[in-house]
């Protein structure tokens, strides 16, 4: 349970180990992935490594080739835990090559890179997400992530729409911004709005209301018969 007799789990973690309150909160709400490797999880809880370092170690272990034996993986995990005493989380995340040279020096470089990219792709796909929430101030807030291939395609699509409507908007002040000045973030948002507006399904066309002196659409006036 997240709480025990009124005490939050993050408080218990912070008090019972060398993990800071901020890192404990990060552990509870966003660090579930490090529990895949018990030694790394224990090191984080004991304060031997930070939560950020634990995540980096987990990421590197996930990128290692599937051909490694259980013994080699255990050696890699211990190597990274030892390395954490010397480098920060950012440098730890770049240790894939160093780890392989340590535990599997015979691994072919090309096969290694292909395996790493394949593992990275699988990890990114498993981590894909998109959530929406209402900020109750007139906006919808969304947050998410996509694998690089799909993410870059989405980015290019939004940027293309942003550029296509930029010229028209710059010629006249936006009705919501009298100065006609928009930040980069606003232009990007406008690109997404243009994308959604252009692809939204259009409702079926309803008959236009009849104007005075004209028949309603779909109904012809009766032909006049000469007597």
Which of 26-30, 89-93, 151-155, 199-203 bottoms out in mean pLDDT, i.e. has the lowest?
26-30
Q: How confident is the model at residue 52 (pLDDT cuts 50, 70, 90)?
A: confident
Q: How confident is the model at residue 87 (pLDDT cuts 50, 70, 90)?
A: very high
Quick one: average pLDDT of 70-90?
A: 93
Q: Are 60 and 34 in contact (CB under 8 A)?
A: no
Cα→Cα distances 150→30, 75, 124, 145, 193, Å: 24, 35, 11, 10, 19
Residue 20 falls inside a structural domain: no
Residue 17 falls inside a structural domain: no
Task: Say what percent of the chain tops pLDDT 70.
Answer: 64
* Block residue for tokens 């109750």: 136
Point out the domain boundary residue: 94, 126, 158.
Answer: 126
Taking 60 as the threshold, does the pLDDT of residue 215 lie above it? no
Point out the domain boundary residue: 72, 100, 126.
Answer: 126
Residue 165 domain boundaries:
131-199
* 52 closest CA partner among 91, 101, 96, 108: 91
Q: How confident is the model at residue 42 (pLDDT cuts 50, 70, 90)?
A: confident
Point out the domain boundary residue: 109, 126, 143.
Answer: 126
* 129 closest CA partner among 98, 111, 150: 150
Tell which wins on pLDDT, 213 or 170: 170
Q: Are 54 and 81 in contact (CB under 8 A)?
A: no
Same domain for 83 and 156: no
Taking 50 as the threshold, does the pLDDT of residue 31 lie above it? no
Residue 143 falls inside a structural domain: yes
User: What is the number of structural domains in the chain?
Assistant: 2
């Amino acid at each position: 349970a997240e709480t025990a007799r009124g005490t939050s789990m993050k408080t218990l973690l912070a008090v019972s180990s060398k993990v800071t309150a901020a890192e404990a909160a990060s552990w509870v709400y966003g660090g579930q992935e490090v529990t895949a490797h018990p030694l790394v999880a224990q090191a984080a809880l004991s304060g031997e490594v930070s939560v950020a370092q634990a995540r980096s170690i987990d990421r590197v272990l996930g990128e290692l080739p599937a051909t490694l034996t259980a013994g080699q993986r255990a050696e890699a995990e211990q190597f990274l835990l030892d390395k954490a005493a010397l480098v920060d989380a950012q440098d730890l995340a770049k240790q894939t090559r160093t780890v392989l040279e340590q535990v599997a020096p015979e691994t072919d470089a090309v096969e290694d890179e292909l395996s790493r990219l394949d593992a990275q792709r699988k990890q990114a796909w498993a981590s894909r997400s998109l959530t929406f929430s209402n900020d109750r101030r007139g906006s919808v807030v969304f947050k998410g992530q996509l694998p690089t291939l799909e993410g870059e395609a989405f980015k290019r699509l939004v940027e293309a729409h942003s550029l296509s409507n930029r010229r028209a908007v710059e010629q006249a002040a936006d009705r919501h911004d009298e100065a006609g000045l928009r930040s980069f973030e606003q232009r990007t948002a406008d690109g997404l709005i243009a994308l959604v507006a252009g692809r939204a399904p259009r409702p079926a066309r309803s008959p236009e209301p009849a104007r005075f002196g004209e028949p309603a659409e779909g109904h012809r006036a009766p032909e006049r018969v000469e007597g």
